[in-house]
Amino acid sequence: PSQDFYITIDNTAPTLSDIKFKDAGTSYVNDGKGVILYFTANETLTEFPTVTLGNKQVNVNYENVENNKYRAYLYVDKNINEGELKFEISYKDTAGNEGKSVSATTNGSKAIVDLTVPKITLKDGSDKNAPVIGSNPYQAVSYKIYDNYGYSRVELNGTVIHTHTTPPIWGDINN
């Protein structure tokens, strides 16, 4: 008796899609914070892809096994280079076909590592241009914040007193 055997030959490389950082747009991360990179494979991969975020190879886990969705997590510390967080994803399918290495998101999202503490300059209270309320020249304080990547807001005792990004401008805190 003869038996029929069917062999499927897979010469097609896998692809990745929906490659994005957790937050859409640009997110800023600093020491002690985490960054998550999500991506989806078009087919089952042989093993977890190799992902390098910054200058570190990181662990990759399933976000959703049935849909070939993955996530890579990086805990940011002082050993990660400041600036835009570069990444690379290497992967292959169950037939051993290697996918094209990926180093860009598909939605334009990016993560910026900012390890530099902002610097604050205060205007001298004796400055004739400093705001004066009543007869007390110290009831208003003018400040300028310098940060490598700008800032989104300034809080004083839990109250937002200024929202701005780069370049630094003078702001006032009034009593």
Per-residue confidence (pLDDT) for residue 126, from 0 to 100: 47
Residue 6: how many CB atoms within 10 A of its CB? 4
Per-residue confidence (pLDDT) for residue 173, from 0 to 100: 55
Q: Are 23 and 109 in contact (CB under 8 A)?
A: yes
**Type of residue found at 129:** N
pTM: 0.71
Does the structure show a pLDDT above 60 at 167?
Answer: no
Q: If DSSP codes are grouped into helix, strand and coil, which group holds residue 41?
A: strand
Higher per-residue pLDDT: 83 or 135: 83
Per the document, the length of the chain is 175
The candidate with the shortest Cα–Cα distance to 118, out of 143, 96, 81, is 143
* Residue range 60-100, pLDDT digits in tens: 998 887 889 999 999 998 889 889 999 999 999 999 999 99
* Residue range 28-66, pLDDT digits in tens: 888 888 899 999 999 999 888 999 998 899 999 988 878
Q: Are 82 and 113 in contact (CB under 8 A)?
A: yes
- Nearest 10 degrees: CA dihedral of 103, 86, 35, 152? -120
Q: Report how far Cα 97 is from the mean position of its chain's Cα atoms.
A: 30
Tell me the percentage of the chain whose pLDDT exceeds 90: 37
Per-residue confidence (pLDDT) for residue 175, from 0 to 100: 44
Average pLDDT, the chain: 79
Q: Are 124 and 130 in contact (CB under 8 A)?
A: yes
Q: How much helix, strand and coil, in percent to the nearest 5, is found in the chain?
A: 0, 45, 55
Nearest-angstrom CA–CA distance, 85 and 50: 16
* Confidence label for 146 from pLDDT (cuts 50, 70 and 90): low
**Type of residue found at 5:** F
